[in-house]
Chain A
Amino acid sequence: MIQIQNLKKSFRTEEVETLALNSVNLKVETGEFVAIMGPSGCGKSTLLNIIGMLDNPTDGAYFFNGEEVGGLKENQRTKIRKGNLGFVFQSFNLIDELTVYENVELPLIYLNMKKSERQQKVKEVLERMKIAHREKHFPQQLSGGQQQRVAIARAVVTNAKLILADEPTGNLDSKNGIEVMNLLTELNQEGTTIIMVTHSDRDSHYAHRVINLFDGQIVTESQNKPFEVNAQ
């Protein structure tokens, strides 16, 4: 699904150029669950943003489903992102002015889906995330765990093939964190590819493969024996 070759990303301020990613090579197969780990500032989120087509690399190649996407313009990237990719953030990033239902509905609106179809899909995914009873609430009225479930619902409502999760449990207590990880594992078991950035050793054990970044380079890669779903 994803093939990254010799990828570089640098940030330039007025005087200093910082190399955030340095010659990264990575391959992710469809259906994989990959965790990216490393200390703060090692380039994890930068790599995830490039994989999620929110940002372009400075150098190197990035193939998504066989198509080179590294040099695409914003509008072209948006087109590919729509429906294919789902995002889960540490700080949930729900739109405060929209209800739970409307937040989840939003990506479907951008896909120009019919209202009745949208309704059905949103209902289904909210049921599945066990948050349907809160559909009329606004994000601020929910707990952190509930907000992250809504964010996951929003990520999967389009049947995204790839979910990118940036520290999905970072703002949650352990109980809610586990719940979220179980949800992601379930989705992965159903065939969704998941790439997750995390600081948490425990969360990384849910992944099939753990990639360690340091100073913008992949330093180690290890295979995991997957966790059991609902593990406490």
Chain B
Amino acid sequence: MFKNYIKIAWRSLKKSPFFTFLNTFGLAVGMAGALIMSLYIYDELSFDTMFADADRIYRINADIKFGGEANESAEVSAPMAEALKNDFGQVEMTTRFRNIGSVLIKKNNTKTNVKELSAAYVDSTLFKMFGIELLYGDEATALTKPNTLILTKTAAEKHFKIEEAVGQVVVLENSNAYTVTGIIDDLPQNSFLRDRGVFMAMSGYADAQENGWVSHNYFTFVKLIENADMSAFQELLQSMVGKYIIPYAQRIYPGITEEQFVASGNYLRYTTIPLTDIHLYSDRYTELSPNSSIQNVYILSSIGIFLILLASVNFMNLSTAHSLKRAKEVGVRKTLGSRRLDLVRQFLIESSMISFFSLVLALLITVIVLPFFNELSGKAIAIPFTNPVFWLLLMLMTIILGLFSGSYPAFFMSKFMPVKVLKGTGSVKVGGGRIRNALVIFQFAISVFLIMSTLVVFQQLDFIQNKDIGYAKDQVLIIEDIYAAGNHVESFKKEVMQLGQVENASVSGYLPTPSYRNGSTFFKDGSSDQEDAISMQKWKVDHEYLSTLNLELIAGRDFNRDFSGDSTAMLLNESAIKILGLKPEEAIGTRIQDLDQEDEKLFTVIGVIKNFHFESLRSDINALSLSLGKSNGYMAVKLNSGNFSNTIADIEKIWDKIAPGQPFNYRFMEDSFNTTYKAEQRLSRVFIVFTILSLLIACLGLFGLATFNAEKRTKEIGVRKVMGANVFQITYRLTVDFLKLVGIAIIFSLPLGWYAMTKWLEDFAYRIEIGVEVLIIAALLAIIISIITVSYQSIKAAIVNPVKSLRTE
């Protein structure tokens, strides 16, 4: 019997190649989409699970409010790790990371530097904590001594043969010599340590040895013992404030108590986050690596489920429509003794077969599409062809999909009554029209929803990119790592400014696009009362900073070389003076004390600058201070319009002359700005891809239904033509029914889309309002696409000679 089912299924699929193609292709597209989504989500969920004892590792976070600014930090102070280890028996070990961003690294006694994008100081417990094994070197000593470092395989291979790397000396930032004491394998892409190549011994980092409890600069991980008492650990964390922070703070704010600290509305709360949750649940002020969000996983899972549902619905729709051609077979089989269950089984086997064909096609589509998807999503996902669990799950899902998609058609078709379908005239009425209509509505509702979402995401991106962000990012070139020029930074700047195509240039490590950040606490008028404290960004800039970035002064003046006292002058932004409770004009002349140990100065406010967005538009603009100082991170070069490549070549020539052998890295500020919205850009691209896929599936379904409808109404069309109807009238009649369904879909999906996207936009401090035009465009697009899909079949049916259509009846 089973063989018979397979045989007839195969032949019946072969007999209707167009139907089989629509069904298989539609399902394959849905499956490929869902497969890619699943791989993506699996990758997202697998982050950091590869580390040994990952379930026992936590990162300590700090939620801080002080000086008018609230901050969610992923970093805590340097002595925290040691204190936790000493105070809590259940802490098995701790590891700290002090991120220092990119470094220039070269082999000793050579000139050419290589830039490593992510370097960090790290405790020697790194290996034991995360189960990282050394390929070369001794784990017991690798990171114990100052001025030693370990490299990943890829980072090492840029300089040495890896088997010879241990014991070699490298120079960082042209000044500090380090001995390579170990080589580790490249770290997994789905880990928080991805793309990191250089780990220096924390023991050589002076700041880490100090007892500075109020600076939060260390990513601190703890590994607890098995079955540790988490609530006791949380309690201990809260007690750290009273035990360590307040006594330390009393050095700066004499007499301050924990009660006073809390009563003034300030807080410092320590929390933990499991290592394996960081990637999806942590979005703090600084992170070791850019994280994703669980919201994206939800959005993409929904899209994956939508796609597979769309494809499944398509299958149901096309199969029931096609059932007209299977009615006689059902009648004959029933007459010959087939039970309904036998028929259901037969049709389910057929749908499972289509499902398997689709799987093969889907895998092929996935193989072709995955590289593009990886580029869009910034991932390195591969199909786990060698993983038996993957195949098992895939087979299981294919069978479930086949059975689910086939269930409605099977029960629908097996209901045919032989008496009705075996009349011999071939005029069988196929019911189920309402359900088919409902399914078309469902498909288009999803498509319209996705079109609308895509439009909103794009509008928001456009808004971000074109919003007045308060500084000029266009035609600004950022030259990176200019500290590599050593003492010649100033002469480099001068020479660059002399180029005709260069309007202005400014040297600073601090830019409104991703660059250094440095927060500090200041006091108004030399007070040390915590009520007068103000937490601000403290940026060191030069005299040309404002003019290069076109920052607007709303009161006072800019830094000026003619004023010798400007070394203690300060510019504040609007947010800063708001915290101080001052109006712009009132702020001028205000004295601001910086209590930073290295830089204890009394500044005078000489000007107020208009707020500009130096963080992402997701967040509000925080308090910011600018003061003169050396900070040789980047040089921002404002270019005149013209041939940029020539200008860049000219600048590079100057660089090569001033800093021979040093890498010349540059980017445009606009590109750097755009990287801040990478997540949104990726989301928008993913949306576009899946909107197109869902439309494709919905259109395949609609096309199939239009074909079926035209076939079913052949006689009616013939009669109408004989009665004098023209091609347009018939096309209109055949098309309008489908448009009604699309119309209903639009009515359902627009409010849903509006609601969902309004929620999504809430993540942005600065956002668009969803306008009526978005709703209109989404609706019109759906209508136009469905008219195009349906009209081919409708026109084809309408131009048939009526004699022919009437004869077929």
Please give the residue numbers on chain A whose beta carbons come within 8 Å of chain B beta carbons, in ascending order: 45, 49, 52, 54-55, 74-75, 78, 81-83, 87, 89-91, 93-98, 102, 106-107, 109-111, 154, 170-171
Most buried by A among B329, B338, B422: B422
Complex CA–CA separation, A97 to B15 (angstroms): 8
Query: CA–CA, A19 to B12, complex, Å?
Result: 38
Is the C-beta of B340 less than 8 angstroms from some C-beta in chain A?
yes
Q: Which residues of B contact A (CB under 8 A)?
A: 1, 4, 7-8, 11-12, 15, 328-329, 331-340, 342, 417-419, 422-424
Query: Across the interface, do B8 and A97 meet the contact criterion of CB distance under 8 Å?
Result: yes
Residues on the A chain within 8 Å of B423, using CB: 45
Most chain B Cβ neighbours within 10 Å, of A82, A83, A87, A97:
A97
- B419 / chain A contacts, CB cutoff of 8 Å: 49, 54-55
Q: Can you list 8 residue pairs at the A/B interface with Cβ under 8 Å? A: A49-B419, A75-B340, A93-B332, A94-B332, A97-B15, A98-B7, A102-B4, A106-B332
Q: Which 4 A-B pairs have the closest CB atoms?
A: A91-B424, A82-B337, A110-B337, A97-B11
CB distance from A171 to the nearest CB of B (A): 8
Assess whether A78 is in contact with B329, with CB atoms less than 8 Å apart. Answer: no
Find chain B residues with CB under 8 A from A82 CB. 336-337
Q: Are A97 and B12 in contact (CB under 8 A)?
A: yes
Whether B7 lies near A81 (C-beta < 8 A) is no
Do A110 and B418 touch (CB < 8 A)?
Answer: no
Candidates B8, B15, B422; contact of A93 at CB < 8 Å: B422
Q: Given that A89-B422, A90-B424, A102-B7 are known contacts, is A111 also in contact with B329, CB under 8 Å in the complex?
A: no
In the complex, chain A residues whose CB is within 8 Å of the CB of B424: 89-91, 93, 170-171
A45 CA / B422 CA spacing, docked (Å): 11
State how many angstroms separate the Cβ of A121 from the closest Cβ of chain B: 14
B338 contact from A90, A97, A110, Cβ within 8 A? A110
List residues of chain B with CB within 8 A of the CB of A52.
335
* Chain A hits for B339, CB < 8 A: 75, 78
Give CA–CA (A69, B339) in the complex, Å. Answer: 17
Distance A171 CA – B424 CA, assembled complex (angstroms): 10
User: Which of B8, B336, B422 lies at the interface centre, i.e. has the most chain A CB atoms within 10 A of its CB?
Assistant: B336
Given A54-B418, A97-B15, A109:B329 Cβ within 8 A? no
- Residues of A with C-beta under 8 A to B417: 54-55
Could you count the A-B residue pairs with CB atoms below 8 Å apart for me: how many are there?
70
Q: Which residues in B have their C-beta under 8 angstroms from that of A171?
A: 424
- Contact A93/B4 with A54-B418, A78-B339, A83-B337 known, Cβ cut-off 8 Å: no
Kindly report which residue of chain B lies nearest to residue A96, judged by CB atoms: B15
Q: How far is the CA of A88 from the CA of B11 in the complex (A)?
A: 24
Nearest residue (CB) in A for B11 is A97
Knowing A54-B418, A107-B337, A109-B1, say if A93 contacts B331 (CB, 8 Å).
yes
A78 in contact with B338 given A55-B419, A96-B15, A97-B15 (CB within 8 Å): yes
Assembled-state Cα–Cα distance A81/B333 (Å) = 12
- Complex CA–CA separation, A89 to B4 (angstroms): 23
Q: How far is the CB of B426 from chain A (nearest CB, A)?
A: 8
A81/B335 contact (C-beta < 8 A), A93-B422, A110-B342 known: yes
Residues of B within 8 A of A96 (CB): 15, 329
Name B336's closest neighbour in chain A (CB-CB): A107
Cβ–Cβ < 8 Å partners of A75 in chain B: 339-340
Query: What residues of chain A lie closer than 8 Å to B15, measured between beta carbons?
Result: 96-97
Contact of A78 with B337 in the complex, beta carbons under 8 Å: yes
Question: What CA separation (Å) do A82 and B336 show in the bound complex?
Answer: 6
Contacts of A81 in B (CB 8 A): 335, 337
> What residue in chain B is nearest A97 (Cβ atoms)?
B11
Nearest B-chain residue to A106, judged by Cβ: B336
A154 to B335, CA, bound (A): 11
Question: Contacts of A55 on B, CB cut-off 8 Å?
Answer: 417, 419
Q: Are B337 and A111 in contact (CB under 8 A)?
A: yes
A110 to B345, CA, bound (A): 13
Quick one: given A89-B422, A90-B424, A102-B4, are A95 and B337 in contact (CB under 8 Å)? no
Cα distance, A121 to B339, chains bound together (Å): 22
Residues of A within 8 A of B11 (CB): 97-98
A204 to B329, CA, bound (A): 29
Q: How far is the CA of A5 from the CA of B414 in the complex (A)?
A: 31
Taken together as a complex, chains A and B put the C-alpha atoms of A89 and B422 apart, in Å, by 8
Given contact pairs A78-B338, A93-B331, A98-B7, enumerate 19 new A-B contacts (beta carbons under 8 Å).
A49-B419, A54-B334, A54-B417, A74-B340, A81-B335, A82-B337, A87-B336, A91-B424, A93-B328, A93-B332, A93-B335, A95-B328, A106-B4, A107-B336, A107-B337, A110-B337, A110-B342, A111-B337, A171-B424
List the B residue with the shortest CB-CB distance to A80: B337
Are A110 and B336 in contact, CB atoms less than 8 angstroms apart?
yes
> Chain B's nearest CB lies how many Å from the CB of A83?
7
Bound together, the chains give a CA A49 to CA B335 distance in angstroms of 10
- Measured CA separation A215–B268 after assembly (Å): 95
